[in-house]
Structure 1
Amino acid sequence: MAEERPEDERSRKISSNLLIGDLLIPLTAGVRIKQPVEVTIDPLPFSCYPGTEAEITINLRSFLKEKAKVSLLLSHSSDLEVEAEKSCELDPKSFSGLNARIRVPKGTRTGAYPLILRALVSKEKKEVLTKPKEFHVRVLEPSGIVVATEGDKHRLIAENMIARIEFNLRKGGTISVFDRLSGRLMIYALRVGIGPPFWPSEFDIKSFDYRVEEVPSGYKITLSADSDKYRGLKLIKEVTIFGGSPLIGIRYGFVNNSETTREFKLQSRSWANFWGSIYNIPIRGKLVRAPAIEGDFPYWERDLPKSPKDFKERWVCFEFSQDGVSLGILWDKVEENEFGAGKANFVFDVKLNPFSIKWLEPFYLYIGPGDWKVVKELWRMIYMSRVEPEPYEKVTEEFFIDVSTHPIVFEGESPLEIRITSSRMRKYKGKLAINLPAGWNVEKNEFEFEDFSMDKGKVFTTKIIPNCPPGAYKGDIILDLPETELKFDLPLILVGAGGEVKVKEIEDRGKRSFLMDNGSLRFRVSPEYGGVLYSIRDTRGVEHLLSPYPEISTFSWIGEWLGGIGLNGWVERDEWHMTFHREEWHAEKAEMTGWTGLKLWFEPKREEHRNLKGLRFSVSYLTKPMSKVLLVVPGFKNKTKASRRFRVLIDFFLKLGGERKGYQFLVPTEVLDYLRKENPYYAWLPSNRGYVIAGNPFKKSYATVVTPVKKGIEISMADESSEFGGHVVTSVYLKLKPKEKMAFPLFFCLSSSLEEAKNYSLLRKFKLDAFNQSFYT
């Protein structure tokens, strides 16, 4: 007896001829022969780690019209231990099952261990033995790969510890790729068409032969099928699965066994299971990051560009945060790339000489943990020969429609430029409205636009008129589009007012110091005290920094402590060395684009800093008239021809509102904005959004430490317990090329409310182009 065949596969048939007079009528009846009982296992495939003991269900389905008894005949590899129920009764055309327990001994090597099942069907003193079905117990070690058929020769499955690939050999030679840990179907791939036109394609209904070959890095599965349309043409699909790797390699090839030169295009069609994902794709130098919206973004047709020239980096990433997994597609040389909804299609030019073989450029699938950053770095490694990530790369990350404003920092009446951009080819018509907080006015607050698309951005200009004290405020920009309404933050940081910043040299308790006075805050800095800014007092005389100036003291775990704000130390082999105050510091007045203050610097001379010789360290403290903002700019210069790597610390020791007690923190993380209250136990927590807010609610005093730098700098809450207070530590991870110099601006902002402190966090959007990098070093 034969198994049930798929609908696309030819059935067995019975033919006869009917003769009526001189008329011959051929008659054919199709016959589909079924097993009396179908046997399968669940889960299928059954994959496990060495040492596993688990249960499976052996499912039985009866196609009989009568009740029958079924006895299970099971044989298995001697490397396994299997116990199973032996028999059951099946009602007519019903389902049942038998339980089995499988034990895989520890030390079992990676491999596919056969599990062969047959059913002995007894009915009315007749017995029928079904055809054997071979399944496998798939044992996977960390770097292992298993490639084997399951149930019949047409169901080929390849997997490693990360991904599972199921091959459809009967129809189309396609693959379905799953994330093994979540079971999520990630992508359906390898449909092809030769053309144009590319559809309908003869290969969509063809059966494919396959060959499995072990290669040094994994296994290569090669599928092939002959063309009926083009004589002598064979299509090859090659899939490589790598041991322990989230990458899957794919490439197409052709064999031309004819005397004819053939030229055509190949379209490779894939469909990502994009539902519930975050869609990431780099277009024209920007990272477009948005939720995948069925029927909207990206739309099926004419939404994202098809030209590879619009993709400086050619990758796309679908993030499924609920399962902690991402799908990446990485490619390079194609004539056309087409994306829309879950579609990921590539078009290749093909030219085949007579009696030749040609391979097309490979592309890759990524199935694994992480997000778009992982996919991006893998693309650069594969296609750009990048050895390690770019340490200080500036990535413009946007929704598919973005609104940006310039400036975000004001000192009085100022023009405001609003720029809206789209990463979509579809055209929009809509309205833009500006909503401002109390104390702010705008010359024009509504604009209309049409024909807005990827190639036609819009720029609107108006005038902002503040009538409020310096501080951090926030408005809104509303973009009204036909299918949605989008709301964007409008940062309004009134950083200063009229007046001047006075800087003068003084002697303070026996040390050479400098006093910076902006009319709202008074700052004290000493080059003879490790370049530390040790005091910030407001007009009421309240001190907001904690420092033992002019002494050097011990504090918590720190043996030599100066407190205040400063470039205090460095980290080597995970040991913190707070010793920069031992060097000879220099000071000079500094001015830059309206910011005024001091620059302090030193070059390591002492023996304990021998690993830092040839470097220059600086820190600048800058402010504006009547401002509550201090711009702290640590700078670093590599004066040698050697590349240098190190980590330094910029500390902010706080006494907000004049009190060390009663502190709180607000630290934004991936999960939530964490509120930390004063506590008898210490705790440290880094922010992943570029800012930390410290505060003393009882004194209505808050400080925001925020940076516009996206990489290479980390701001952390440093709760040193109620005994020592709550502070902020910033780590800068330096990787300097020969003769390179870098700077990492930080804003330290004082405010009287948590709302205003949160508004100051918008300084992370400050455009660094306004800074002159050479100034800092």
Structure 2
Amino acid sequence: MNGVTFRLVTGFEEKPPLDVKLAKMYSLPLEYSGELLLDVENCLRKRVKARLRLVPGAGVVVKPTSLELELKPREAVTLPVEVGVSRGVKVGSIMAVYDVEVNGSSCRGKPVKLNFTCPALGEVAWFLDEERDRIVVDRGDAWLHILLRGGTVFVYDGDGEPLAYMRCESIGSPFWPNELERARFNFTVERIEGGLRVRLSAPVEKMPGLTFIKELRVWASNPAISIVYEVENSSSIVHEGRLRVNAWPASWRVERLVVPLREGLLKAGVRLGEFPGARGDLPLDPSRYSEGWMCYEIRGGFACGTAWSLREVREVDSSYCRLPSPTYSFRVEPCSRAVIGKLILYAGRGSWRSLRELYWREVERGVRPPAIGAEVNAVEVLTDPMPLIIEGSTSARARLLVRRSRSKEFRGTLLLRGREVGVKPSRLEVECRESGVFECEVEFQVAKLEPRAYSIDYTLNSNYGVVRGSIPLIVLGTGGDVLVNHEDDTWIVDNGVLAFRVAAGFAGTLYSARLGEVEQLESPYPKPGQLVWINPWYGGVRVVSRVSRDSLWREEWKAEPVNVEEWRGVKVYTDVRDERNSWIKGLRIEQYYLTRPGSNVIALYTVLENRSRRALEPELFLTAFVKPGGVRAHSMAIRRGGGVEIWRNWGYDMPYMISREQAAVYNDVAAASLVAGRSGVEVIAMSFGQEGGCHLAVSVAPDDLLRPGEKFGLSSYLVLTRKLEEALRYHPLTRLALQGPCSSL
């Protein structure tokens, strides 16, 4: 045609009269004796009579061994058969042989081998399915099907439902058409400790002499699949190119995507066809990621993702709900072999945290992951600063930001509505094109100047969907001064609304806090007492080595007035020397009790410094024995999983509830809340029965060993309010972490 010669090829697909197969993929217990289901389908458009013989493989018994069937046109039936498997059989088989009679004529179909697995605990079983030209791997919790034509890998959960699949990698550029999709791969399978090594290889025709090699390592009941890509050059020339990975999760099962961006940890719901969207919706540039992994969370407690080295890849594509698929560059000299890159495919039970731990252990070779950054959403409405603080005034102006974490152009309408808060303007047209942030100035006005927390509700209607949320506003204080005085062994801090007292000689305890004339703390000051099993008990607010059996009261505590940023108050400190605290001997403990003018908040800033010559692992607690409104609390609440859990003391139970953000205790007249200055810190509400009331604590423990000379700081906030609902609105203080340095007055 027009001087071009085309080669035309035709062929026929041989269709057997019957399709005989197991009803599902069977992974059986060792020495199994029981039922298997067999599917038999008439592939003809005519009625047939069939005689089916079942020939068991070595170590397998099957009953019955012969079946006679009469099937209507295109009819399928399921037949139960009994099997018994002998000890030591890892892969069992049954050969199905059948004769078919159609319109008085008979024929014999091609024998079909039916395989099932019986892996021992901690082992991986596999077999070659010659009928479908694939390797089948049973790792115990999931199945892998590795197609030898094209090298595609399918991963199914234990019930046979798809989790992920990796289409054949492509070498380019250009990457399409992909010749490797049509290639039949050579393979070897080798047992390794606890698993299998599967090695696939195929020649790359457009690069003569180049062979592409893919090695997969699979371990028993382990969601991680290690993949190493190599190329071997048997030619006399240098070959250069790029390798693109092509992988997808079972997209109809995914719920959420988690991505570690430089700006923070993105957690966003997946909307098929919209998010993740077109190529570049999420960054292609590896430098835009803080860590080399992404993870889809899948219904039913599954996770699916990939992990890679940020130093090896050129780009990462997650468009249209792909598994994050990296592109690698390679250069291989003549008569040599080169490793292109390494990839971990995670598909199985778990969450994004499971994949992240795997990334740090296997890719970065770290002992443990560092603390993760702040969480971000696909689109967020924020203020600068966040939370918005008003102090000494009924109004404030602040920058309002609409920030996106995607590249897709953003446009929409933002509606603001305050609860007892005036907002101007209350309606904004928002658009983000080149920049990822829209910003403007907004004025907020409260009716009355008093310490209180508010929220401004917003609705953002946009091409990203409808987003609803709230902007926190905290009137932190009414203004004025904070006075710090010293009387005998007691330091008195008075901000005009709240006055508290600290005694260094009473184990460094903040033993009294009064709102007006009402005492808000419970303490036996001036002498220690006993509360249930705690003896000696100092009450109030103080650092302890254990909630129940403390030994830090044995140390010598000192005190002095301090300023920390805009906060003012008292610092108590000690150098641990007592032999009964030998596990933290040499640790300097500094506890700051701080407030601001006209505030109902006490900032609690704890600093641990290792002044010894050995690494220490301090796990301390900051306890707060409170009496909200002058009455012992009978109920407690915590924030957990995006909601609030509440418990009331009706009897002699003494439970405790742990949050990673905020805990509160309350009664019929008032509430007290303890808020950690960053998310992920254990905050505890604990009950001491009807007689002992409910109280609060926060864990003070570094994420890792504290080496000689290192410091660890943690800020938390004790908030005194009239109601539980108001106390919970102080949750945004988790964003208000105090930072050093500290200066003495």
Q: Deviations over 1:284-316 (max 9, x none)?
A: 342221011112211122312222222232211
Q: Which secondary structure does the structure 2 equivalent of 1:164 belong to?
A: strand
One of 393, 418, 424 as aligned partner of 1:436: 418
Distance 1:726 1:85, change over 3 A: farther
Q: Per-residue deviation at 1:176?
A: 1.0
Q: Per-residue deviation at 1:143?
A: 2.3
The answer to which of 149-158 and 622-631 deviates more is 149-158
One of 506, 520, 537 as aligned partner of 2:514: 537
The answer to which of 149-158 and 722-731 deviates more is 149-158
For 2:160 and 2:656, how far apart are their aligned partners in 1?
33
One of 578, 593, 617 as aligned partner of 1:645: 617
Aligned 8 A contact 1:530 1:568 in 2: no
For 1:296 and 1:376, how far apart are their aligned partners in 2?
26
Q: Aligned residue for 2:5?
A: none
Q: Per-residue deviation at 1:221?
A: 1.2
RMSD: 2.9
Q: Aligned residue for 2:266?
A: 288
The answer to which of 343-352 and 627-636 deviates more is 343-352
Q: Deviations over 1:106-129 (max 9, x none)?
A: xx5683233333335577998755
One of 327, 332, 342 as aligned partner of 1:347: 327
The answer to which of 603-612 and 204-213 deviates more is 204-213
Distance 1:129 1:549, change over 3 A: farther
One of 598, 604, 624 as aligned partner of 2:570: 598
Q: Which secondary structure does the structure 2 equivalent of 1:152 belong to?
A: coil
For 1:743 and 1:615, how far apart are their aligned partners in 2?
13
Q: Per-residue deviation at 1:282?
A: 2.0
Aligned 8 A contact 2:558 2:573 in 1: yes
Q: Deviations over 1:600-631 (max 9, x none)?
A: 11122222112211101121111122211111
Distance 1:618 1:141, change over 3 A: farther
For 1:654 and 1:494, how far apart are their aligned partners in 2?
23
Counterpart of 1:161 in structure 2: which amino acid?
Answer: G
Q: Aligned residue for 2:725?
A: 755
Q: Which secondary structure does the structure 1 equivalent of 2:407 belong to?
A: coil
Distance 1:252 1:606, change over 3 A: closer
Write out aligned runs for 1:347-366 (5 A). Answer: 347-366=327-346
The answer to which of 190-199 and 61-70 deviates more is 61-70
Counterpart of 1:419 in structure 2: which amino acid?
Answer: L
**1:77 pairs with 2:58:** yes
Q: Aligned residue for 1:297?
A: 275
For 2:66 and 2:522, how far apart are their aligned partners in 1?
78
For 2:459 and 2:81, how far apart are their aligned partners in 1?
62
**1:233 pairs with 2:203:** no
Q: Per-residue deviation at 1:229?
A: 4.0
Q: Aligned residue for 1:564?
A: 540
For 1:123 and 1:220, how far apart are their aligned partners in 2?
46
Distance 1:154 1:243, change over 3 A: same
Q: Which secondary structure does the structure 2 equivalent of 1:210 belong to?
A: strand
Q: Per-residue deviation at 1:528?
A: 1.9
Aligned 8 A contact 1:303 1:340 in 2: yes
**1:487 pairs with 2:487:** no
Q: Aligned residue for 1:222?
A: 199
Aligned 8 A contact 2:48 2:101 in 1: no
Aligned 8 A contact 1:684 1:716 in 2: no
The answer to which of 196-205 and 442-451 deviates more is 442-451
Q: Aligned residue for 1:690?
A: 661
Q: Per-residue deviation at 1:244?
A: 4.0
Aligned 8 A contact 1:159 1:241 in 2: no
The answer to which of 29-38 and 340-349 deviates more is 29-38
Q: Aligned residue for 1:503?
A: 484
Distance 1:465 1:122, change over 3 A: closer
Q: Which secondary structure does the structure 1 equivalent of 2:283 belong to?
A: coil
The answer to which of 206-215 and 444-453 deviates more is 444-453
Q: Per-residue deviation at 1:746?
A: 0.9
Write out aligned runs for 1:262-273 (5 A). Answer: 262-273=239-250
Distance 1:104 1:406, change over 3 A: farther
Seq. identity, %: 26
Q: Aligned residue for 1:388?
A: 368
Aligned 8 A contact 1:704 1:761 in 2: no
One of 729, 738, 743 as aligned partner of 2:713: 743
Q: Aligned residue for 1:402?
A: 380
For 2:743 and 2:275, how far apart are their aligned partners in 1?
44
Aligned 8 A contact 1:603 1:614 in 2: yes
For 2:289 and 2:10, how far apart are their aligned partners in 1?
56
Q: Which secondary structure does the structure 2 equivalent of 1:723 belong to?
A: helix
Q: Aligned residue for 1:547?
A: 523
Distance 1:593 1:414, change over 3 A: farther
Q: Per-residue deviation at 1:227?
A: 3.9
Q: Aligned residue for 2:4?
A: none
Q: Which runs of 5+ in 2 are unaligned?
A: 1-7
For 2:444 and 2:304, how far apart are their aligned partners in 1?
44
Write out aligned runs for 1:577-656 (5 A). Answer: 577-656=549-628
Distance 1:410 1:618, change over 3 A: same
For 1:672 and 1:140, how far apart are their aligned partners in 2?
43
**1:417 pairs with 2:399:** yes
Q: Aligned residue for 1:47?
A: 27
Counterpart of 2:628 in structure 1: which amino acid?
Answer: L
Distance 1:535 1:116, change over 3 A: farther
Counterpart of 1:248 in structure 2: which amino acid?
Answer: I
For 1:708 and 1:428, how far apart are their aligned partners in 2?
32
Write out aligned runs for 1:459-498 (5 A). Answer: 459-468=439-448, 469-498=450-479
Q: Which runs of 5+ in 1 are unaligned?
A: 1-26
Q: Per-residue deviation at 1:272?
A: 2.2
For 1:261 and 1:342, how far apart are their aligned partners in 2?
36
Distance 1:95 1:482, change over 3 A: closer
One of 628, 631, 634 as aligned partner of 1:659: 631
Q: Per-residue deviation at 1:516?
A: 2.3
**Dislocated runs of 4+, deviation >6 Å:** 122-127
Q: Per-residue deviation at 1:472?
A: 1.0
Aligned 8 A contact 2:560 2:570 in 1: yes
For 2:715 and 2:343, how far apart are their aligned partners in 1?
40
Aligned 8 A contact 1:741 1:774 in 2: no
Scaled by the length of structure 1, what TM-score is found? 0.86
